[in-house]
Amino acid sequence: MQQILTLCVGNICRSPLAQVLLARELPDRTVWSAGLGALVGHPADPISKALALENGLDLSGHRAQQVNSLMCQRADLILVMEQHHRFQLERRYPLARGKVFCLADDDIADPFRQPREAFEAAYFDIARGVADWAERIRQLG
């Protein structure tokens, strides 16, 4: 599992946080993020940036990108934030089947346009999911 893609809708709140958390946990892997309906070219949400910074992570250079077929082919593992993201992705890109999984046991709610508390809850769920996946990936070698 050398190439890992994290995915949400807009690619400005959840998947960028998952990307930088996974990259910190798995520095020898390539991790990137994208969105199913990305706000292409937009920076990370200011609250996501602030939470990242408070946790020693940097999202200042992030720019949202739309998922595409090449990304799905390149990825060994695709981690989505919600179950329906998996269904949408696999319907658009059937070759992704078998390597798309939810980051957490439950859907990670989209905090977009919500108060900071929603971002904090999402960050907690993302961090927990990243810790679980990082351990699994390390065990696989």
Q: Residue 29: what pLDDT?
A: 98
Reference 22, options 45, 5, 34; nearest CA is: 5
- Domain 3-140 homologous superfamily, CATH: Response regulator (3.40.50.2300)
Q: Residue 21: what pLDDT?
A: 98
Q: Residue 141: what pLDDT?
A: 76
Q: Residue 52: what pLDDT?
A: 97
Tell me if residue 8 is catalytic: yes
Residues of the chain with pLDDT under 50: none
Tell me if residue 97 is catalytic: no
Reference 104, options 134, 60, 139; nearest CA is: 134
- Write down the catalytic residue from 63, 102, 107, 110: 110
Q: Residue 119: what pLDDT?
A: 98
Tell me if residue 106 is catalytic: no
Reference 16, options 117, 90, 123; nearest CA is: 123
Q: Residue 73: what pLDDT?
A: 97
Q: How far apart are the first and last CA of the chain?
A: 8
d(CA 130, CA 126) in angstroms, rounded, equals 6
- Write down the catalytic residue from 13, 14, 45, 72: 14
Q: Residue 69: what pLDDT?
A: 97
Retrieve residue 11's tokens: 């690619």
Residue 28: exposure state from Cβ atoms within 10 A (0-12, 13-18, ≥19)? exposed
